[in-house]
Structure 1
Amino acid sequence: MLVDNGVHGDSRVQKTARSAAEAGWNVTLLGCSPDNAEHHWRIGEAQVRLLPMGGSAGGGGGGGLKRKLVERGGLPLAMARKARRPVERAQVRYWLNKEGDRAWRRLEPGLWNYERAFGKVIDELAPELIHAHDFRMLGVGARAKQRAAEAGRDVKLVWDAHEFLPGARPRRDNARWLPAHLAYEREYVPYADAVVTVSEALAELLQKEHNLARKPGVVLNAPARTADEGVPDLRALCGVGPETPLLVYSGSSSPQRGLDTIVEALPSLPGVHLALVVQDPSAPHITALTAASDRVHAVPYVPADQVFRFLAPADIGVIPIHHWPNHEIALITKFFEYSHARLPIVVSDVKAMAETVRATGQGEVFRARDAADLARAVRAILADPKRYRAVYDGPDSPLTGWTWEAQAARLNTLYQELLA
């Protein structure tokens, strides 16, 4: 199993590895080390290995590497950001016209860092099946499959598409990033023996984008069974008692997640506190939010098997994300975590989640980036919380199908079919 991060904080990857091992598969999960050392641990019976990247993953590396990339056309000469754009766009046009989908080798050569770090290790493991998470690992898995075939071994490749790349926000501020990664993805999709993804809407987009013969299977980011013991007390960490209205946000703290909108709404919500469950509570942008109000509290992540129990003491789960193509098409992990915590949900008017909340009645929808409208939605729930929580009870509860166990069974069936 391959992933382009350090595994910590990626609940989908952790759950996939753990459940596959529980089903009897011999699982090694390869990720990226945060330093120059290899790290090992286990998630259940799955072995985790974080491999040193030996450079800036997905980036340009050091000064010597940058000079080589300039010579190859991979980087523009140093110049003001605004002035760089025409040069970068010209590079994109030139290399795409000259080399087609192979152009990523010129436009984003730092992608080779993943091959250098992972390739030899995968070959040594000699897997029967590779589960590649997200777009960067698709290419790494595809090349490993090619090498195995040349050595006379048949390796099956499952691509787990976490997002719709054409609708992704570029992760670096240049005009090459998205076209390069789109070319990279297009080159290696044909090597996948099966594709899975996070929602029906994304499955349809992927099938159309890559002209897939079969629509990708859907594996929801639903929570797994959680630990009942040893779960930290969210309210104690925030220093608030059971009578204090408490909002919670859990997950990525990037600007497009809209955390500033919640903080802006607090002056209109007297006595209401906010817990931000984030990977690094000491990060500068998080400390700026906590400094803005003594009613904002930042706390660290807990293990994946504790998340929804940890969130349950709050009164409302908030998802204030901005409008962005990938935000419109999926029920994201925190949506399911809030649901299993039986929290009423306040969500911005991004399509899939807004439609679901309106259909189930489990929360309120507000206009994205509108702090006043967010405050209105919070007040509506606090006025009658039992009405929203009642959705989670009874035989018609949406929670019945929103379990990781059901999703893991789909993956296990897929693995068996591929290796039959």
Structure 2
Amino acid sequence: MAEVSKEHRRVAVLTTGPLAGDSRAWRVAVAAHEAGYRVTLIGCGPTAVVPDGVAVRYVDVPDTLRTHRERRPHPGLRWPLAYRSAEAHAHRTAGIAARRALLATRAAELDVVHRAVPLRALARCAHVFAGARCAVRAGWTRLRAAQHLAAVRSRRRPSARLDDLAAETARLLLGRRAWRRLDPGLLDEETAFGPVLDTVRPHLVHALGPRALALGIRAALRAEGSGHRVEVVWDAPPRIPAETRRGQVAADALLRMFAREADGVVTVGNRLAAQLRAEYGLPALPVVARNAPPLPGRPASAASTAPAGPGGSGASFSVAEAPARPVRRGDVRVIPGPGSLPGPGSVPVSAPAAAVASASATAVGSAVGSAAVLRSGTVSGVGTGLVLGSGSRITSRKAAARTARETGVRARCGLGAETPLLVHVGPVTPDRGADTVVEALPKLYDLHAAFVVPDPEDDPNMAELRDRAAQLGVHGRLHVLPYVPVDQVSGFLASADIGVLPVHQLSHHQMVLATRYYEYAHARLPVVVSDVRAMAAATLGTGNGEVFRARDTADFVRAVGAVLTNPRRYRKAYERPDLLREWSWQTESAPLLDLYSRLLGPHR
């Protein structure tokens, strides 16, 4: 095959989730583009922000195969009276509603229309009979509808013993191909993403997650059949346990079939890399590229914004040969939190010094400053507030601090510098322990809590936390804010006093440091984390926060009180030389780009 120059090599960054919520995808895409590759970012949309120089393909995935079990649940012996399809259920229930409306109209007509006494009596008897027949049919329809809905719920979340037995049977009979039977949504994704990958014709597919890996491997096989070689890199995150046995069996089968087919594997932690190699028999240890945010200061040529995802922030990378270009920024949509009244029966805690918060905001409030590590190993820009290179510019510390005060989380909550504020970033699913924070607020008199979440208005978990805060009388100290653009995350958080990660003791939390941990570090926030293995070790090792027992509200109160009493002690940990440089995307992306170079070498 003729050699292809680096600038003509095409890299497809593939995710099966929403692009607006996948910070890893945005980071990888921008890093590959800055390294000289032609990058296409493929995922579900829409999103309002596009990285400079990166092509974006939005894919709409149909639900035809995934929802077939719900639309036609085949109730069998468990629900013998259930409707056999969603269409029949909708038709019958709508028919009953229409019949009731007609009966109501007929009753009104009998009251207002004059008829002879015999005719009126006959009409009323017929109406009573029709009403009784309608009541019987409505009762029968309700019974069948209730069984139909139960069957649909079972198909949506198959957790009964019979469902587990069916999953095990599929595993034994179908082996690695069991995912086709147990998770037909993967086939929906193939029909949606497959043609897009075939059209892009990449030289390398960076697949984020096992579902994207399967898509990339199949696309590579089709391309190789037409004479075009495609390398596939699997970006393996920690596995979140499936809710049902059916989902677990399907996920295991998918990985057994495709994990060893990847040409390269990258993951987010050393322990996870060793586990992946042992579990799937990988020929080499996966490359480790932690999902850390970029350093606050970097040349304007590398600036790019994307909505912050569940993990937090997005991508930025700098190389010496990258030309300067304008920055595209998305709108920052912020919903102010409710009032800031303390709850009754509270115990005061020591408020942090205003100077500490101001100093932190000054240090990280802007997106310019610290030196950016280039792929070539050179350094561009030294010191906060100064960026050197083509088109040098200087941003004053005073302006950076003013920007942080005006747009930071504290300002959005409407709080003064003297009010203690902790912040939690990311979804508030039950395993993330946000309820521990809410339960602790009555015991922390003047402390406010800000939750920065993907969807403040329609998140049912957030709604439950609001209700619980209202029951405890602390709703005035609970603030809910939406995500901000990626390049503003550290500056946005810097005006808070504490960053919290109260996650539960689950396997996917034990292995690696969460992206939120790195975000808090770049904002120079003291942290309060639960005693999961990775975060507890990092916190105790660096001295940047306190560790508490997971799900223990009293111990959480103790840890928060300790940090608020002496915040300077914990902020000093970030003064260690090269700590934040080590925890930065500029450093972490270098092994990933080296992997690209090995796979897309001169032989191409």
Tell me the TM-score normalised to structure 2 length: 0.64
Aligned equivalent of 2:241: 169
- Closer, same or farther: CA 192–65 of 1 in aligned 2, 3 Å: farther
Aligned equivalent of 1:264: 439
Aligned equivalent of 1:131: 206
CA distance in 2, matches of 1:241, 1:289: 24
Per the TM alignment, residue 377 of structure 1 is displaced from its structure 2 partner at its CA by: 0.2
Uncovered stretches (5+) of structure 1, i.e. residues with no partner = 72-76
Aligned length: 402
Per the TM alignment, residue 235 of structure 1 is displaced from its structure 2 partner at its CA by: 1.0
CA distance in 2, matches of 1:60, 1:83: 13
Aligned equivalent of 1:312: 494
Aligned equivalent of 2:219: 144
Work out which of the residue numbers 574, 579, 585 in structure 2 matches 1:404: 585
Work out which of the residue numbers 232, 248, 254 in structure 2 matches 1:184: 254
1:85-125: per-residue Cα shift (whole Å, max 9, x none)?
Answer: 22112212211111111011111111111111100010011
Per the TM alignment, residue 61 of structure 1 is displaced from its structure 2 partner at its CA by: 4.8
Q: Which SS does the other structure have where 1:294 is aligned?
A: helix
Q: Which structure 2 residues correspond to residues 15-414 of structure 1 after superposition, within 5 A? A: 15-33=27-45, 42-55=50-63, 59-61=66-68, 78=151, 85-163=160-238, 165=239, 168-170=240-242, 173-226=243-296, 227=367, 232-282=407-457, 283-291=459-467, 292=469, 293-395=475-577, 397-414=578-595
Q: Which SS does the other structure have where 1:357 is aligned?
A: helix
Matched residue type, 2:595: L
Per the TM alignment, residue 201 of structure 1 is displaced from its structure 2 partner at its CA by: 0.9
- Closer, same or farther: CA 65–24 of 1 in aligned 2, 3 Å: farther
Matched, 1:8 2:183: no
CA distance in 2, matches of 1:378, 1:56: 49
CA distance in 1, matches of 2:445, 2:50: 45
CA distance in 1, matches of 2:430, 2:60: 28
Matched residue type, 1:264: E
- Closer, same or farther: CA 270–160 of 1 in aligned 2, 3 Å: same
CA distance in 1, matches of 2:231, 2:153: 46
Q: Which SS does the other structure have where 1:78 is aligned?
A: helix
CA distance in 2, matches of 1:312, 1:384: 17
Matched residue type, 1:169: P
CA distance in 2, matches of 1:18, 1:80: 41
Uncovered stretches (5+) of structure 2, i.e. residues with no partner = 1-12, 75-83, 85-149, 297-366, 369-399, 470-474
RMSD over equivalenced CA pairs, Å: 2.3
8 Å CA contact 2:224–2:230 kept in 1: the answer is yes
- Closer, same or farther: CA 79–52 of 1 in aligned 2, 3 Å: closer
Q: Which SS does the other structure have where 1:4 is aligned?
A: strand
- Structure 1 window deviating more from structure 2 (126-135 vs 291-300): it is 291-300
- Closer, same or farther: CA 224–330 of 1 in aligned 2, 3 Å: same
CA distance in 2, matches of 1:80, 1:40: 35
1:209-230: per-residue Cα shift (whole Å, max 9, x none)?
Answer: 1011211010011111443577
CA distance in 1, matches of 2:169, 2:477: 53
CA distance in 2, matches of 1:327, 1:191: 27
- Closer, same or farther: CA 366–51 of 1 in aligned 2, 3 Å: same
- Closer, same or farther: CA 281–189 of 1 in aligned 2, 3 Å: same
Matched residue type, 1:349: D
Per the TM alignment, residue 127 of structure 1 is displaced from its structure 2 partner at its CA by: 0.4
CA distance in 2, matches of 1:129, 1:40: 26
Q: Which SS does the other structure have where 2:14 is aligned?
A: coil
CA distance in 1, matches of 2:25, 2:267: 12
Matched residue type, 1:146: L
CA distance in 1, matches of 2:584, 2:159: 47
8 Å CA contact 1:40–1:50 kept in 2: the answer is no
Matched residue type, 1:244: T
Runs of 4 or more consecutive aligned structure 1 residues displaced over 4 Å after TM superposition: 61-67, 79-84, 228-231
Tell me the TM-score normalised to structure 1 length: 0.90
- Structure 1 window deviating more from structure 2 (406-415 vs 179-188): it is 406-415
8 Å CA contact 2:20–2:45 kept in 1: the answer is no
- Closer, same or farther: CA 80–125 of 1 in aligned 2, 3 Å: closer
- Closer, same or farther: CA 211–257 of 1 in aligned 2, 3 Å: same
Per the TM alignment, residue 304 of structure 1 is displaced from its structure 2 partner at its CA by: 1.4
Q: Which SS does the other structure have where 1:3 is aligned?
A: strand
Q: Which SS does the other structure have where 1:15 is aligned?
A: helix
Per the TM alignment, residue 288 of structure 1 is displaced from its structure 2 partner at its CA by: 3.6
- Closer, same or farther: CA 418–400 of 1 in aligned 2, 3 Å: same
1:137-179: per-residue Cα shift (whole Å, max 9, x none)?
Answer: 010001011111111111000000011x3xx231xx5320011
CA distance in 1, matches of 2:49, 2:230: 25
- Equivalent pairs: percent with the same residue? 43
